[in-house]
Amino acid sequence: MGRLAWPILLILLLTGIPSLVKAADPAGSPAVLKQDGLREIKRRNLGPALGVEQRTVDRLVEVGNRYQPTRQRLRQEMMAEWRHLQQALKQSPPPEAQIKALLDNIHQRRMALLDSNQRQLDEEMALLTPVQQAKYLDFLMRLRKQLVREARRLKGGTGGSGGSKQPSLWRETTPKEVPVSNTSPK
């Protein structure tokens, strides 16, 4: 993967995790997957996954905690602007000047969110060696996949942990081997 692709991938992961938590709890009732739960998952599993001391894990979690309020505020503002945009689109004829202003606001907030994610990523990567950075990206990708499965399970879809009452995120998991076939021409 290119040098620029890793940071973009991590930004997408960092941006996607909170939205997956919200998707797991669309009604707004107390959800199993709250930010505190994600922090606890990171605190418990990052050290062994990355091969770092608990002090480094605590510093990584602290960096995330510092940026979380800003990202949450930006997401809430973007959602409010989105609701206003939907209302404006229902008007006949839609007010183009208002729609343009709303789109500009949404774009500005999105750019601020991406900037916040990039600053967080820069701080986190500064704490890790290149090998640890790669392991961290792998950890975040696996965590995101688990969150997607859990969100689907909570919504009643497939991809969950079967009939278990305990969410799959809280149980210890071991990586499974995936068979790979070489289909390249000889």
| CA angle (34, 40, 42) in 5-degree steps | 110
Query: Quick check: is 180 in a domain?
Result: no
Residue tagged 């343009």 (tokens):
100
The mean pLDDT value for 166-173 works out to: 49
Query: Quick check: is 68 in a domain?
Result: yes
Query: Quick check: is 59 in a domain?
Result: yes
Long-range CB contacts for residues 3-10, cutoff 8 Å, separation at least 24: 6/133, 6/137, 7/118, 7/121, 9/137, 9/141, 10/117, 10/121, 10/137, 10/140
163 pLDDT higher than 70 = no
Neighbour-count burial of 18, counting CB atoms closer than 10 A to its CB (0-12 exposed, 13-18 middle, 19+ buried): middle
Query: Quick check: is 73 in a domain?
Result: yes
Q: What is the pTM of this model?
A: 0.62
CB 25 within 8 A of CB 38: no
Q: Give the Cβ contact number of residue 1 at 10 Å.
A: 8
Express as a percent the part of the chain with pLDDT over 90.
53
Here the tokens at position 117 are 């994610």
Query: Quick check: is 176 in a domain?
Result: no
Query: Quick check: is 185 in a domain?
Result: no
Residue tagged 């689109």 (tokens):
89
Query: Quick check: is 186 in a domain?
Result: no
Query: Quick check: is 183 in a domain?
Result: no
The mean pLDDT value for 101-122 works out to: 96
Nearest to 79 by CA among 22, 120, 36: 22
The total domain count for the chain is: 1
Mean pLDDT estimate for the chain: 77
Q: Would you call 5 helix, strand, or coil by DSSP?
A: helix
Instruction: State which residues form the domain around 110.
Output: 5-170
Return the pLDDT at 156: 82
- Give the pLDDT band (50/70/90) at residue 185: low
Which of 104 and 18 is assigned the larger pLDDT? 104
